[in-house]
Chain A
Amino acid sequence: MNEIKRNQSIGVPKPLVDGPEKVSGKALYSGDFVPKNCLVGRIMRSPVAHAEIINIDIIEAQKLPGVKVIITGDETDEPFGILPIARFEFPLARDKVRYRGEPIACVVAVDVETAQAAIDVIKFEYKELPGYFKSKEAMAEGAVNLHEHRPGNIEREVDFELGEVDAGLADSDFILEETFNCAEICQVQSEPHAAIAEFDVERQFMTVRASTQVPYYDHLMLAKVLKMDESKIRMIKPFVGGGFGCRTESLNITLICALAARAARGTVRIVASREETFITHRGRPETDIDMKIGVKKNGIITAVDYTAIQRGGAYSGYGVVTILYSGGLLFGMYDLQAVRYKGLRVLTNTPPPGAMRGHGITDVRYAFESLLDKIASQLNIDPIEIRRKNYLKGPNYETLNEMFINSYGLPECIDWVEKESGWKKRKGKLGKFKGLGVGCGHYISGASKPVNWTGEPHATVHLKLDWDSSITILTGAPEIGQGSSTMATQCAAEVLGLDMSRFQILTSDSKLTPKDNGAYSSRITYMVGNATIDAAKNLRNILIEAAAKKLDADPDDVECLGEFYTAGSQDEGLTFEEVVKAALEGTGTITVSGNFDTLPESWGTKKYRGGAISGSMAYAYAAQVVEVSIDPDTAAITVEKVWAAQDVGKALNPLSVEGQIEGSVWMGMGQAISEGTEYHEGLAITNSMLDYRVPTIVESPPIEVGIIETIDPNGPFGAKEAGETSLIAFIPAFTNAVADALGVRPLDLPVTPDKLMELIENKKE
C-alpha cells in the first residue's frame, strides 16, 4: 500500500481544463447562440458628441417590413452603473447624448439589413452643445456641464496628504519634478461584445447570455433597468474571449439587448462590430501626471507630491475607483513616509474608460518609476540600488494608508532580474544606442471591500459529489480565458488528493452556480481559490467521517490518500469509490459549500474618503529589466529582450502563471510603444485593428520569466495576483531603457517615432 500517493495538482504545470473546447472550436461564445426565431438587434448611435435630444422619430422606420420593434431612451428611466454612488448612465440616451457613438435607439428586426435600413430612416433631432474632448477643455471656466449634478465637469476630486510632505521636501537634498502624459488605450480583446436575451412572455422570465467578466453585476443591472425581480432573470456567461477589464461592469449592449427582447416579446441577439466594441470602450483613461519626488543624497525618498488628471469620458463607470487607485496604490511598493496626492476625474465628451488591467496605478507607477530612474542617474546611484534603499521594512509592514503587507517579494524579484540580465556587467556597456532599464510594479490580489457591499462572503463555492464518484465544482467565478476554472479544479483536487480528471466544473449560471462578484481586481485566485479549498476540506471531512464509520476507526486516525482512505498501515483500507458509497448512504447526492471572507484589517484606511480602495489581502510584486536598441536615424525602437520576475506568492499553475506574465509584458509593450486612441471632434478615428496598433508577434521580444514564491500567509496555498502586476512594471522598465540608450527620456506614452525623433533632434541642438 506504500506506493499509493496523493495526487499533486498544485505547483504542477497543468493545461487549461477548458482548453479542448477552445482548441477544437466547440466552445460556444455569446455570439454563437442563434436559437430558432431569433431576432437581430442593431443599435443606432449618436452622430454628435454633445447635444440635447429633441426628438427621435421612429414612425417611418417602424413601418418597414421585417422591423419588429424599435426602442429608445423611453424604454427605461432607470440608470445603471457599477458604483452605487455613480449610476447615471442610461442603456439608451434619454435627455442628452454625451459622446459620439452613444446608443440612442435599438431596432429589432428579422435581419441586420432590415435593421440597418430602419436606422437609416430614423430621424434624430437634436440641439448641439459644445463638445469637450480633453480634460482641460471640460474643466475650463464656462464649460457646459455634461451632467447637471457634476458642476465643473469634475466626476471626483481626491485630495489627501499622509505624513508631512512640505517638511519631507524641505528635508530632502534633491527634488525632481516632471510631467507625464499617458494616452488613452483599449484592451482589444479577441471577442467583440455580444449578448443574447430570451424573454419568455408566458412566464415573464428573462434569460441573458453575454460576454462579461461580471455576470452578477449584470444580473443586478438587468433587474434594475428592466424593473424586474432578480429571481425572474437568469444570467449566463458562456465562453468569453478575453476581458482585461473592459467587461468588469455592465455594458449597455447587454442591457439594451434585454430591453429589446422584452419589447419584442421574444429572443434578440446583438453582436457588436469591432468598431462598436472600441466605442463601448472601458479601457484606460488618458492621464496627465505632474509628480515631484524629494530624496536624500543617499537616495532615500523623503516625500512625494503629485497630481493625476484623468479624462474620464462621458460617464463615471469605474472612474471614481480609478482615480482613488491612482492615489492609494502609490503605497505598498517602497517605504514612503510623506505623500500628497490630488486626483481629478474629469467628465468629457468621449466614450467612458473603465478598469483596464493594472487598474488605476499603471500610469502613476510609470511616472514614479521614471522619475526615480532619473533621480538615480542624476545622483549617480545605480537604478537598482536606489530601489533597494527604499524597500519596505520587510513583510508585516503597514503603510501610511493602512495597507497590510504580509508577503513582500520585491527584493527577490529585483535580485532575479539583476542576475539574469547580467545587469552589473552589462549596464552602461552595451554600446551606442543600446540600453538597459529597470522598472517595478505591484498590484492587489482582489479588492477587500467589494463595490457592492452585501455582507455576504466574498466568495462561495459548491462541490457536488454524486453516486458516480465524480465531483462537480459549481462556481460563479467567470472563466474568461485567464484560467480560473483550472485554478479552482487544481485547488479542489489538491485538498482531496484526487486526480483532476475526477472533476467537472460549471461556472457562471445564476440558476445553478453560487453568486460570485466576478473576474476583476485579480480577486479570483485569492478569493475563489480559498473558498474552493474551504469547500474541499468540508467535503474531505465528510468522506473521512464516512470512511471512519465503515472502517470502524476514529476519524482522526483515517488518512486520506485521495484514491484511497486508510486507518493505519495494518488496515486494508477503502477505495475512493467505496468511501463515496458510504458517504452517500442515507443522504444521497451531497453538495458542500465553502466560503472566503477578507479580514477587516485589509479593508483600507479611513484617513481619507475612499480609502477602502487599494485595501487588499495581499500584494503581488514585479521587477523587470528591458533591453532595447534604437535606430537614431529613424527613432525605431526594438525591444531586444525582457527579464520579468513576479512574486506570485505561489505559482499554483506555473504554466498559466508564465503565460499571464508574458501576456502582461506584451500588453504593457503595446501601451509603451504604439497604442493610443485618437479622436477628431469626438469621432474616434482609431477604431479598427489596422489603425489601433497592437504589436504583432513579429514585434514581440523574447521574454524570460522568473517566478518568485513568497508563500503569502493567507493566500490559497500561498498564492497571490499573477495577471496584472507585470504589465505595470514593463512600461517604466522600457522607457528607462530608452533613456539609457539615448541619454534623453521620453515622458509621454506611447513612445512614437514622432515623439522620440523630436527628443533626439532637441538633444543634438
Chain B
Amino acid sequence: MKPSNFDYVKPKTLEETLTLLGDGGRDSVVLAGGQSLMPTLNMRLSAPDLLVDINGLDELSGVKLEGNQIRIGALTRHVEVENSSVIAENCPLIALAMPHIAHPAIRNRGTFGGSIALADPAAELPACICALGAKIEIVGPGGDRKIVAKDFFKDLYETDLKDGEIVTAVEIPVTSSKTKIAFDELSRRHGDYAMAGLAVNAIMEGKKIENISICFFAISATPVLAEGAAGILNNGILDDDSLGKAIQQLESDLDPLPDLYASRALKMHYAKELLKRNLESWMS
C-alpha cells in the first residue's frame, strides 16, 4: 500500500524543528532513519499530517567522548556506532549489541535516537541504555531536560516524550576497569526480532558483584530491569547458589507477554536461560 497524504518539511535548525513540532493543530511525526516509520506509513498503521525530516540537523549526529560520559547524537546511524572505536573502547555493551540490530542495510540508515524514541519492546538499544544507566537528552517547547533511561520507557511504544519534544542525544557513563558486561538474544531466524534478549552491566571486584543491572527485552511491553534478581546478586559473590536464586527471582521480576512466536512459558524459560548462560560464563 501507499501512505496517506502528508506534508513534508526538512528543517535546517533545531529551533525550526521545534516550531514545526510545536504546532499543536497538526499531527506531526519526526522522520529520522525511517526504518520503522516508512513501513508503518505504507501499511497505514499511522497517518500523520506532517513529516518533519530531521536528517538535515547535523548537530544531532555523532559520537563524542566528554569526560566520563559518551554522548551519542540521536541522528547517529547504527553503522557509525557499530564501527566507532570510541564506543568499542568506552562502551563495549553497545558495541556488542550493534550486530544484532536487524540487517546491515537497516543499520546503514536507522538511527540510535530513532530506536530509543520508537521504543519497540524487542529492540536492543533501549534495553542496553537501561542497563547502562544512561540519560536521555530531550529538547522541547518547555526547554531542555534529561531523563534516566529506565523512566523513559512507559508502555508498548509509549515513552515519556511530550508533545513537541524530541530526543537529541543519549549520555552513557564510560566503562571502568571493573565493568563486566553481557549481551545475548534468542531469535527464530537470522535478523528477526528477538524472542527474548538480555543486556547486563555490572561492576565486579574479583568474584564479588558490587553493582549489577540486568535488563531484558522482547519479554514485556518495555525493557524490564530485573531489580529483584539484581538485588540478590548485588554485594555478593557470584556463584552457583546466588545465580540460582537470582534466576528463580525472575519468576517475580518478569511478567512475560506472549506473542505469535513464543508463549509466556517459553519467554520465561528463555529469560532464565539467558541469565544463566551469560552469568555462568563470568564464573569460569
Query: Is B16 in contact with chain A by the CB < 8 A criterion?
Result: no
The reply to whether A634 and B189 form a contact with Cβ atoms under 8 Å apart is: no
Residues from chain A with Cβ under 8 Å of B186 in the complex: 634, 636
A347 to chain B: closest CB distance in Å?
Answer: 26
In the complex, which residues 184-209 of chain B have their Cβ closer than 8 Å to any Cβ of chain A? Answer: 186, 188-192, 195
Residues of A contacting B269 in the complex (Cβ-Cβ under 8 angstroms)? 757
Take A113-B2, A273-B1 as given contacts and tell me if A753 and B190 are in contact as well, using a CB distance cutoff of 8 Å: no
Q: In chain B between 251 and 274, which residues have their CB closer than 8 angstroms to a CB of chain A? A: 260-263, 265-266, 269-270, 273
Q: In the bound complex, what is the Cα–Cα distance between A223 and B195 (angstroms)?
A: 50
Q: In the complex, what distance in Å separates the CA atom of A222 from the CA atom of B51?
A: 45
Minimum distance in angstroms from B276 CB to a CB of chain A: 8
Bound-state CA distance A693–B273 (Å) is: 24
Task: Select which of A674, A690, A698, A753 is within 8 A of B195 by beta carbon.
Answer: A753
Number of residue pairs spanning A and B whose beta carbons lie under 8 angstroms apart: 44
Q: B192 contacts A693, CB within 8 Å? A: yes
Partner of B262, one of A686, A693, A754: A754
Whether A695 contacts B273 in the complex (CB less than 8 A), given A686-B260, A752-B261, A754-B266, comes out as no
Q: Which residues of A are found within 8 Å of B265, using beta-carbon distances?
A: 754, 757
> Separation in Å of the A700 CB from the closest CB of chain B?
10
Quick check: B266 and A691 within 8 Å, CB to CB?
A: no
Nearest CB in chain B: distance from A605 CB, A: 44
Let me know if A754 and B263 touch, CB within 8 A.
Answer: yes
Contact status A634-B262, CB under 8 Å? no
Interface residues of B in 139-198 (CB under 8 A from A): 186, 188-192, 195
CB neighbors of B among A659-717 (8 A): 674, 678, 685-686, 690-691, 693, 695-696, 698-699
Smallest Cβ-Cβ distance to B195: which chain A residue: A753
Q: Is A633 in contact with chain B by the CB < 8 A criterion?
A: yes
Q: How far is the CA of A690 from the CA of B261 in the complex (A)?
A: 12
Contact A699 B190 (CB under 8 A): yes
Any B CB within 8 A of the CB of A112 = yes
| Whole-angstrom distance between the Cβ of A752 and the nearest chain B Cβ | 7
- Whether A693 contacts B188 by the Cβ 8 Å rule is yes
Q: Given A112-B2, A699-B189: A753 and B266 within 8 A (CB)?
A: yes
* Contact residues of B between 41 and 97, Cβ < 8 Å to A: none
Question: Which single member of A634, A685, A691, A696 contacts B270 (CB below 8 Å)?
Answer: A634
Point out the residues of chain B lying under 8 angstroms from A674, CB to CB. 188-189
Q: How near does chain A come to B4, taking the closest CB pair, in angstroms?
A: 9
The answer to whether B191 and A691 touch across the interface, beta carbons within 8 angstroms, is no
B26 to chain A, nearest CB (A): 21
Assembly CA distance A693 to B191 (angstroms): 11
Give chain A interface residues in 241-286, CB to chain B under 8 Å. 273
> How many chain A residues have a CB neighbour from B under 8 Å?
22
Tell me how far the C-beta of B191 lies from the nearest C-beta in chain A, rounded to whole angstroms: 7
Which residues of chain A have C-beta atoms less than 8 A from B195's C-beta? 753
Name B120-149 residues within 8 Å CB distance of A: none
Known contacts A112-B2, A273-B1, A691-B260; A753/B188 CB under 8 A: yes
User: Which residues on B sit within 8 Å (CB–CB) of A113?
Assistant: 2
B263 CB contacts on chain A under 8 angstroms: 754
Task: List, in ascending order, chain A residues with CB within 8 A of B276's CB.
Answer: 633
Interface of chain A, main secondary structure: loop
Which residues of B have CB within 8 Å of A695? Answer: 189
CA distance A690 to B188 in the complex (A): 11
Min CB gap A698→B, angstroms: 4
Contact residues in A for B261 (Cβ distance below 8 Å): 693, 752, 754
What residue in chain B is nearest A753 (Cβ atoms)?
B266
Once bound together, how far apart are the Cα atoms of A690 and B2, in whole Å? Answer: 18
Q: Could you say which residues of chain A place their CB within 8 Å of the CB of B270? A: 634
Given the known inter-chain contacts A633-B273, A633-B277, please indicate yes or no for A693 contacting B189, CB distance below 8 A: yes
Give the distance to chain B from A188, nearest Cβ to Cβ, in Å: 13
Q: Are A678 and B262 in contact (CB under 8 A)?
A: no
- A440 CB, nearest partner CB in chain B, Å: 28
**Known interface pairs A273-B1, A678-B260. Does A696 touch B190 (Cβ–Cβ under 8 Å)?**
yes
A116 to B4, CA, bound (A): 10
* A742–chain B nearest beta-carbon distance, Å: 16
Contact B262 A753 (CB under 8 A): yes
A699 to B191 CA separation, bound complex (whole angstroms): 11
Instruction: Report the nearest B residue to A697, measured CB to CB.
Output: B190
Least Cβ–Cβ distance between A629 and chain B, in angstroms: 16
By beta carbon, the residue of chain B nearest A698 is: B190
Nearest A-chain residue to B191, judged by Cβ: A696
Q: In the bound complex, do residue A634 and residue B192 qualify as a contact, i.e. CB atoms below 8 Å apart?
A: no
Binary flags per residue of A722-753, CB closer than 8 Å to B gives 1, else 0: 00000000000000000000000000000011
Contact string against B for A residues 33-50, beta-carbon threshold 8 Å, 1 for contact and 0 otherwise: 000000000000000000
5 closest Cβ contacts across the A-B interface?
A698-B190, A754-B266, A633-B273, A696-B190, A754-B263
Which residues of chain B have a CB within 8 Å of any CB of chain A?
Answer: 1-2, 186, 188-192, 195, 260-263, 265-266, 269-270, 273, 276-277
Beyond A686-B260, A754-B265, 18 extra complex contacts between A and B, CB < 8 Å: A633-B273, A633-B276, A634-B270, A636-B186, A678-B260, A690-B192, A691-B260, A693-B192, A693-B261, A695-B189, A696-B190, A696-B191, A699-B189, A752-B261, A754-B261, A754-B263, A754-B266, A757-B266
Q: Write 21 A-B pairs (CB below 8 A) sorted by A numbering.
A: A116-B1, A273-B1, A636-B186, A674-B188, A674-B189, A678-B260, A690-B192, A693-B192, A695-B189, A696-B189, A698-B189, A698-B190, A698-B191, A699-B189, A753-B188, A753-B262, A753-B266, A754-B262, A754-B263, A754-B265, A757-B269
